[in-house]
Amino acid sequence: MKYSLRWIEEILGVKIPLTILELQNRITTTLGEVEECVDWDNRLRECVVGIVKELTPHPNASSLRLVTVEVGSNSSRTLVCGGSNLEIGQPVVVALPGARVRWHGEGDMISLGVATIRGIESAGMICAAEELGLQEIFPELRSQGSKEIVDLRKLDFKKNWYAGESLSKALYLDDIVIIIDNKTINNRPDVWGHRGLAREIAAYTGITLPEIQASAVVPLEGSVPVHLLTDRCPFYVAVKMEISDGYTPLKLKARLGLCGERSIHPAVDAGTLTMLLTGQPVHVFDASKLRDTLKVTLGNNETFTTLDSREIEVAHEDIVIADTEGPVALAGIIGGDRTACSPQTSSVQLEAAYFMPWSVRLSSQRHSLRTSASARFEKNCDPFGCIDAARVWVAYIQQMYSKTSLQGYAEYGDCTQVNPPRILNINVQDVSHIAGVEISSSSQIKILESFGCKCIEEEDNKETYKVSIPSWRRGNDLRAVEDIAEEIIRLRGIENITPRFPDTKINISLPDPVFSLLHNCTDIFVRDFKARELVNYAFVSENWAKKLGYEKVWKVANPIYSEISALRPSLVVSLLSPNMPVFLGWVFEIGRVFRRPGIITHPDEQGVFVEDFTSRGVPDQPWQCVALYRTSSDAKWPHTAFITACSTALAVGESLGYRWKITPSSSFRLWQHPFQCASIFSEGKRIGYIAGIHPGIAVEINDTTAGACVVLNLSSVVSHTVTRLSAVLPSVFPPVRRDFSILTSFDTPAEIVRNLIEGSALASTQINVELIDRYLLSEGVSTTWRLTVTGDKTFSVQELDSLWSTIENRCKEKGWKIR
Amino acid sequence: MENILDNVRIVDSEKDLEVLEKKLLGKNGILSKVSQSLRDQEGASKVEWGRAVAKMRLRCNEELALAQMRCNQLKISTALRKTAEDATALPELPRRGEYHPLTIVTRQLNTIFSRFGFIPYDGFEAETDTYNFSFLNYAPHHAARDEQDTFYLWDPVQNSMSKELLLRTHTSPGQVRALQKWGAPLRIVIPGRVFRNESTDDSHDHTFHQFEGLYVDSDASVAVMKGVLFDALYALFGKKTQIRMRPNFFPFVEPGYEIDVRYERKPGEWKWLEILGCGMVHPEVLKAGGLDPHCVRGFAFGMGITRLCMVQYELGDVRRLAGARQFEVQRCGMTRV
């Protein structure tokens, strides 16, 4: 929202006793963020009005001319100019050395100096609008050709232009535009008009806000007939006037431009100015084009052409203003083409109304039409503002037209029903408690009254007072003591609240166990396994998920891209997606995955959750950790991806404090390698699995490596008990080692061999069995084991031999060969 | 003799040393000559003579031993030259694990707020309209509820857009869930990712990370909120950082504020950076959490972890934080947590 500082000072009737920087800070810290202050007076410094006196050709360039311009009483200078529309007697814009211009309207502003152009010195330049940015304020000055300079007569034919007059003064641009970030004042419809901001400034400068300047009009029922046929428009003010011979004075045009609006037609401009002043949007119809009585109703699938020539179809959800021929306006958003004002217009009808904010917002969204009016209506304007607006508009019309006559003024509906009076009982201490500092009753009241509240103190009760809230603050806010406290705190100055540390004692509690688990898991993968932590979007392609074997996934109903509408059922879907780069080594991600209810998944994936999601009313969304390891496809045992993944999974479990077990299992998703699958068990319950990546899937993602994933259901891991750390002391007696190989059939898991060897231990000895090699032969699998025997004594040869023969015999029983 | 001893002191090869040793102590060495000449001298007692010779021998031996040591060292040094290393001749640094920037920043914040007793609470990513909006005092027609702003789930049973299930648009629903679970007093932080249905660009993504905080206790006030949050921001940006607080509106707080810090975007170019939104918990939210707003008050805050990452790591494009594009960023040296 753009505000003219001069206009605000005009409303206040005095100069604001703050520097622009102070004002900017004050507004930012008490109301909304000031994004920028544009000082047009400074921007147009050293620019003056010049009158062209003489035109002669440039001796050295055919496209340039020497222009003698008068730039002050009895002072003229000759400038070089390429302007195509130069004329004798023309009022033009002259930038003198020291002015800031933008060459050819492009790039940054630069400071103008004396230049020699094709051998002729030129102390200044005659400007095109774009070189000074004037077209931002006055669109009609935009140059039509590339060489057109500003002809000031385009702005105002009647005005006398004085050579040498400062341009900013002549164009009423000796002003500062304050730009406030719209979203920071979204909840304050009252400051979406200059009077609202003036009221704020008055509150913190101690200035008294004068009454609004408007024409006194008395309502006459039925003088402008309008039928309200929908409860979405509970209040409507209509004014009808006859007008002739009017124009928008340059000063008001400048004001419209500074505030980012456009001058269109004097009667419409009066309406726009009314909105900029009061914050209440109004609409002006050409009364002669209205057929019969206006009615405010809901749309009925009629088509209608807007002022900006768009065809729209109004539906039953839209509030429309219609006459007997059909809609003439989409209420609160935009008017219709058929009833627009034109130069021939001699009778105008004004509409100032209250439309239900949500209805305007939904309509503006449905038709993708956002206008200055709809932006304000959405925020819930004060219905009482309609009355002010109508009177201000009449005053503007009377100022702009030499002949006017008021034909009628009527109010329909009841403001107080929409916006009833509100009186709050405020406890002085409550406000102090919220602020955290003591604020006396008298200073609370003083602040509240500074912006229009009326406060009543009770004689016998000094602890409370009553506040009557003004109509313009009743819409969205000022409903309870918290709101009152907010007003007092901000107007008193947030910086005046001394920061304090809590003085209640801290109840130390343990963090959510899931968080500790996520934290530790991340640390282990990053630190111990040099993994790269990844974060992927929750959205995945439904087709890709299907390809990997995940069906019936949760979907977003309104995705940004229709091809990625599914919520990931597993982190695998994003880690193995075709657009992810392929990396050797470990990457991992920890995140929530989403499960549809009633879809039975494999027990390895399902897990048992600590959190009962369904009772909380949300979809199942357990935490998952997926670590993906890739290595070259010709790696040999034990460096293959799958074996690395299996041993890493056990190591991670150990680091986390769990005793996990791995059991070979079969694949259940399409991305899994059919012969590289294993389940992970903790305390006999499945908490995850390890699976190699199916070469078929690897091809699809251009992955020439061999990969395997460790998938952990963290939400179920967290419920398991952590094993306590126990110290193991080394035996004082020397260990005995022996390496040997066993040849077994293909389908004998190494686990069985290990169990057999471990089971052969003598009493009071410990056997540590380590698998140190494994390779496939034509007749079976050869595994090489290292046996380390320790105990509470030094073993004799006989003892070892007996252990050894036990192992040998047992192997023979199984049909395994010892090599 | 002194001449020879001087030579012994500077000798640097074992061969030369041997020669010198012979000259000193050999059969025809200087020592025997001197001893001869002393013995021949008259008027000296035998005892004195013996002592003088022994003293001289000792001195020679000491000097020779020192020289021997020096020679040995020199010999080893020469041999070690072959194993000399150049500390500047380095290959690529060894591979390390890499934390995601979001993890690093989240942990920083967790640590900072844990000093005030805030503990992390885990919120849901798929939430209900009730927790995401209604309990947080959003009016039924509030703009945030629009499909243009919020992702709603597809209801597979009704085969239509769900009216209730959505992806949370902020971490704030966790406030009500935590209050319902634990009641007051309460100090929690809720880190997590949130979703907005809006078009993406350099500084906006449809998914981003927030860090929410909630303090509910009898002494909660704007002053305490300011104390805690300013301290946290000083811890994050440095004690000298300029901080400003300005009013802003969020439905679930009243009064509501925005806090900006001044930071140097480029050398010499200082800007106010919106860093967090905060405010006193709205009575309606306390009620939804099962508390009596007349008895307790609270304050809440929320900041963008994603925004902080952008600033700390100068990422340039917020989309480099997730998905395939995170590989555009080399994260070396970002492993300190």
Pair B36, B107 in one domain: no
Residue reference for tokens 């201000």: A392
Residues B203, B67: one domain?
A: no
Give the tens place of pLDDT for each residue, B267-279.
Answer: 888 889 889 999 9
CA atoms within 13 A on the CB side of B241: 23
Orientation angle between helical segments B30-40 and B46-80, nearest 10 degrees = 170
CB contact under 8 A, B222 and A436: yes
Is residue B326 pLDDT above 60, yes or no?
yes
Task: Say how many domains are in chain B.
Answer: 2
Question: With contact defined as beta carbons under 8 Å apart, do A320 and A299 qualify?
Answer: yes
- Chain B residue with CA closest to A360: the answer is B141
Look up the domain containing B187 and give its range. 101-328
pLDDT band of B333, cuts 50, 70, 90: very low
Q: Are residues B191 and B246 in the same domain?
A: yes
The answer to whether the CB atoms of A502 and B219 lie below 8 A apart is: yes
Q: Are residues B172 and B272 in the same domain?
A: yes
Counting one residue from chain A and one from chain B, the pairs whose CB atoms sit within 8 A come to: 233
Specify the DSSP class assigned to residue A538.
Answer: S
In a domain, B94, yes or no: no
Residue A464, token pair as written in the block: 């409370």
* CA pair distance A522, A545, nearest whole angstrom: 25
User: What is the pLDDT at residue B336?
Assistant: 41
Helix, strand, coil percent content, chain A, rounded in steps of 5: 30, 30, 40
Select from B82, B117, B146 the last residue of a domain: B82
Torsion, Cα of B291, B293, B299, B300 (10° steps): 50
For residue A583, what pLDDT is reported? 86
**Quick one: three-class SS letters along A282-312?**
CEEEEHHHCCCCEEEEECCCEEEEECCCCEE
Tell me which residue in B148, B244, B283 faces A482 most closely, judged by beta carbons. B283
Which of B141, B249, B331 faces A358 most closely, judged by CB atoms? Answer: B141
Q: Is the pLDDT of residue B335 over 60?
A: no
* CATH number of the structural domain spanning residue B245: 3.30.930.10
The reply to whether residue B128 touches residue A509, judged by beta carbons under 8 angstroms, is: no
* Candidates B124, B151, B161; nearest CB to A618: B124
- B78/B105 same-domain check: no
Place of tokens 């959205």: A539
- 3 state SS of B106: helix
In a domain, B44, yes or no: yes
pLDDT at residue B94, rounded to an integer: 84
The answer to whether A515 contacts B321, with C-beta atoms less than 8 Å apart, is no
Minimum-distance CB partner of B324 among A433, A532, A580 = A580
Domains with residue ranges and CATH for chain A: 2-41+175-205 (3.30.56.10), 45-170 (2.40.50.140), 226-415 (3.50.40.10), 422-495 (3.30.56.10), 513-717 (3.30.930.10), 736-818 (3.30.70.380)
Best probe of the B interface among A358, A429, A488, A497, by most B CBs < 10 A, is: A497
Q: Give the relative orientation of helices A194-205 and A266-278 as an angle to the nearest 10 degrees.
A: 30
pLDDT of A607: 67
Contacts 24+ apart (CB under 8 A), A256-263: A257/A136, A257/A137, A257/A138, A257/A139, A258/A2, A258/A4, A258/A40, A258/A137, A258/A173, A258/A175, A258/A177, A259/A2, A259/A3, A259/A4, A259/A177, A260/A2, A261/A372, A262/A139, A263/A138, A263/A140
In contact, A309 and A240? CB cutoff 8 Å: no
* Whether residues B37 and B162 fall in one domain: no
Distances in whole angstroms, Cα of residue B94 to Cα of each of A527, A648, B97, B333: 13, 20, 10, 12
User: Within this chain, do residues B14 and B133 fall inside the same structural domain, yes or no?
Assistant: no
Using alpha carbons, list the distances in angstroms from residue A7 to A375, B21, B70, B255.
Answer: 22, 109, 95, 30
Residues of B in contact with A483 (CB under 8 A): 254-255
pLDDT one-digit tens code per residue, A758-805? 888 777 778 889 999 998 899 899 999 998 888 888 888 888 888 888
B152 vs A558: CB contact, 8 Å cut-off? Answer: yes
Is residue B336 situated within a structural domain?
no
pLDDT band for position B42 (50/70/90)?
low
Who has greater pLDDT, B11 or A34?
A: A34
- Encoding tokens for residue A244? 């002739």
**Adjacent-strand bridge partners of A620:** A595
pLDDT at B7 over 90: no
**Residue B201: inside a domain, yes or no?**
yes
Query: Does residue B92 form part of some domain?
Result: no
Q: What is the pLDDT of residue B228?
A: 96
| Per-residue pLDDT, A477 | 81
Q: Inter-chain contact A500–B185, Cβ cutoff 8 Å?
A: no
Q: Across chain B, what does the average pLDDT equal?
A: 89
Residues of B in contact with A558 (CB under 8 A): 147, 151-152, 161, 197
pLDDT at A794: 83
The number of residues in chain A equals 819
Query: What order of strands is seen across the sheet that includes strand A91-95?
Result: A75-81, A61-72, A47-58, A91-95, A125-126
Note whether residue B143 is domain-resident: yes
Q: Which of A43-47, A754-758, B100-104, B123-127 has the lowest mean pLDDT?
A: A754-758
Q: Is residue B146 part of a domain?
A: yes
Is B119 in the same domain as B217? Answer: yes
Q: What pLDDT was estimated at residue A386?
A: 96
Dihedral of CA atoms A136, A142, A147, A150 in degrees, nearest 10, equals -80
Q: Which residues of chain A carry a pLDDT beneath 70?
A: 508, 607-611
Sequence letter at residue B38: L
What is the predicted pLDDT for the residue at A108? 84
Domain boundary among B49, B82, B115: B82
Classify burial at A673, counting beta carbons within 10 Å of its beta carbon; exposed 0-12, middle 13-18, buried 19 or more. buried
Considering the domain architecture, whether residues B160 and B260 belong to the same structural domain is answered as yes
**Residue A328 pLDDT:** 95
Q: What is the pLDDT of residues B249-261, one digit of tens each?
A: 899 999 999 999 9
Q: Which amino acid appears at position B184 of this protein? A: A
Looking at residue A250, what is its pLDDT?
93
Complex ipTM: 0.86
CA A819 to chain centre: 70
**Residues B105 and B250 grouped into a single domain:** yes
Q: Is B254 exposed, middle or buried (0-12, 13-18, 19+ CB in 10 A)?
A: buried
| B64, part of any domain | yes
At which of B48, B82, B116 does a domain end?
B82
Interface test mutation site (partner B, options A182, A506, A612, A613, max chain B beta carbons within 10 A): A506
Give residue for tokens 């904010």. A357
Same domain, B40 and B141: no
State the pLDDT at residue A401.
95
Q: Binning pLDDT at 50, 70 and 90, where does residue B33 land?
A: confident
Q: Cβ of A489 and B255 within 8 Å?
A: yes
Cβ distance A515 to B122 less than 8 Å, yes or no, reads yes
Determine contact, residues A6/A467, Cβ cutoff 8 Å: no
The verdict on B22 and B78 lying in the same domain is yes
